[in-house]
Every structure is written in structure tokens, then in C-alpha cells.
Chain A
């Protein structure tokens, strides 16, 4: 089992729809969770962080965390073609002494006009 798992996609959604990106992780005591967006040919950009169970909203983005299920998700409302990118889930894990982020391989999102 990978430490951080994401469906590679692509996830295709029409413009204006809700895109739902999912991530599961193996370390039950993980404390911090992050979503990065990476456009093709560019470096990852931090878009959301979440530390406690529940939802965290920032504009069109909502991060959802369920530690009991070891599951974190990112919802993008009113998806735009400019949201088309690869979304990386990252988790701060105990076995690293909480000193490093472990990244998933990313989910490619395609938003069609």
C-alpha cells in the first residue's frame, strides 16, 4: 500500500460543475494535510492546508478531512477551465518525525468549457 494514494485520473468535469478529488493515507497519526496544484510544466503551488477533522473552505475550494477513515478530499466548486491541472495530496507523517511531506502521485483534472 502506498503511503499516500490518489487516483491518477484524468478526472473530467464540465465547466461549472463540482470537481471532487480524493486522497487516502496510511499513517493513522498523520497531523497535517495539504493540497498542491501543479500546472503542466510548472512547479507545485500550495492551495489548501487542513489540520483537523471537518471542512475548510477557501473561495471555490473546500478541503475535507476524516482522520478516522484516513481520507482527505478537495472539492472545487464552479470548476473553470483554468482549474485544469494535476492536484497533489501531501501528508505530514509520523515515521518522518513529522519533518517531511509525503506526496501522492497526483490526480489530473480536466475542466471542459
Chain B
């Protein structure tokens, strides 16, 4: 596709349930990033994938959060046992270099 795509665009779940968020980066982009943005707040870095290297997980807020990237392309961010404080917009970005990142439209997660 022409840009980064994410699905679903909106997700409403109940506290304690697991959710999976998907990101499909721009074709040929080797780097993929996940961010979280709470209402009115800045971007919070979560995790970074670069090619076949081990991912940089330094931003994951707890062990309930995990992500994988299969075949160097599509990535899935999984949140287990969701809590209300997990409610936010989850943004994925991809890039050829670490510099110019291009963002997807985001997934708005609401935990009731």
C-alpha cells in the first residue's frame, strides 16, 4: 500500500481482556515503531524493530505488553489483561532510516 495501515481503527474492550493491534508498514521500510498517545499527551515510545535485529523493548510499560514482527513486515502489538489506563491511541510508524518516520492512522483503544 501507499502508506502505513493499522487495524482495527477502533477497539473497545472490557477490563481484563487481551487485545491485538496490527500494523502493516510501508513496503521496503525496515524499521517499525510503536507509540502510545493518551488524550492531550505527547508520543510515548513503546518498541522498535529494525530488520532482523532484536527489538528495542525499552518503552514497554509492563510485561502485559508484547509485540512481534513477522517476516520483517507486519507487526502485532498485544496487550494482555487490559486495564483502563491502557486506553489511548496506539500509533505505528515505519521508516527506511531511523530518521524520517511515517505514521499510520492509529488504533483508538478504549478499555471499559
Q: A residues near B, CB below 8 A?
A: 32, 34, 42-46, 49, 88, 90, 92, 98-106
Centre residue among A42, A44, A102, A105 by max chain B CB count within 10 A: A44
The 8 closest A-B pairs by CB, nearest first: A105-B42, A43-B103, A103-B43, A99-B98, A32-B99, A43-B106, A44-B103, A43-B105
Contact, CB under 8 Å: B45 / A100:
yes
Interface residues of A, dominant DSSP = strand
Contact A88 B56 (CB under 8 A): no
List 26 interface pairs A-B (beta carbons < 8 Å), by A numbering: A32-B99, A34-B100, A43-B105, A43-B106, A44-B43, A44-B103, A45-B103, A46-B100, A46-B101, A46-B102, A49-B99, A88-B43, A92-B99, A98-B98, A99-B48, A99-B50, A99-B56, A100-B33, A100-B48, A100-B56, A101-B99, A101-B101, A102-B45, A103-B42, A103-B43, A106-B42
Q: Find the B residue at minimum CB distance from A36.
A: B103
CB closest chain-B residue, reference A103: B43
Measured between beta carbons, the chain B residues less than 8 angstroms from A90 are 101
Smallest beta-carbon distance B7→chain A, Å: 14
What string of 1s and 0s marks CB contacts (under 8 Å) between B11-31 and chain A? Answer: 000000000000000000000
Which residues of chain B come closer than 8 Å to A92, judged between CB atoms? 98-99
Whether A100 and B98, one on each chain, are in contact in the complex, defined by CB atoms closer than 8 angstroms, is: yes
20 additional contacts (CB under 8 A) given A92-B98, A98-B98, A99-B48: A34-B100, A42-B105, A43-B91, A43-B103, A43-B105, A43-B106, A44-B43, A46-B100, A46-B101, A49-B99, A88-B43, A99-B50, A99-B56, A100-B45, A100-B48, A100-B56, A102-B45, A103-B42, A103-B43, A106-B42
